[in-house]
Structure 1
């Protein structure tokens, strides 16, 4: 049997795992936030383009 698998981790190993797990979670969250901001910015850009097209179409129909 593998000695490494059967032993319990030391306090330092547990602390290191916790730190790395927290860092990975923050990285994942920041990637998620960055993706959400990009999605929101793109949605707002498309909305502005649509409103501009609609306004232009209304102006064309008025004249």
Structure 2
């Protein structure tokens, strides 16, 4: 039969917990900055493409 062995993690010290929380906070902030930069790039590209499309449509309407 198999024994019921539970592997429990060693409790973190307050210093380790603070270090872990600080690292998580930094990772979250970096992820948010990356996301915001990607969103800005996406919207800028979308606006550029929209302007190009409108210019093409205006040029086609002239003809």
> Is TM (by shorter chain) over 0.5?
yes
Q: Determine which structure has the larger helix proportion and give its number.
A: 1
What is aligned with 2:24? Answer: 21
1:9 aligns with 2:12: yes
Across the aligned residues of Structure 1 and Structure 2, the Cα RMSD in angstroms comes to 1.0
| In structure 2, distance between residues paired with 1:48 and 1:41 | 11
Unaligned runs of 5+ in 1: none
**Where in structure 2 are there 5+ consecutive unaligned residues?**
1-7
Cα deviation 1:21-54 (Å, max 9, x = unaligned): 0000000010011111110001000000000000
Q: How many matched pairs?
A: 56
Which portions of structure 1, spanning 4 or more consecutive aligned residues, are displaced by more than 4 angstroms? none
Distance in 2 of aligned mates of 1:59 and 1:6: 73
TM-score normalised by L of structure 1: 0.83
Q: Under a length normalisation based on structure 2, what TM-score does the superposition of the two structures give?
A: 0.83
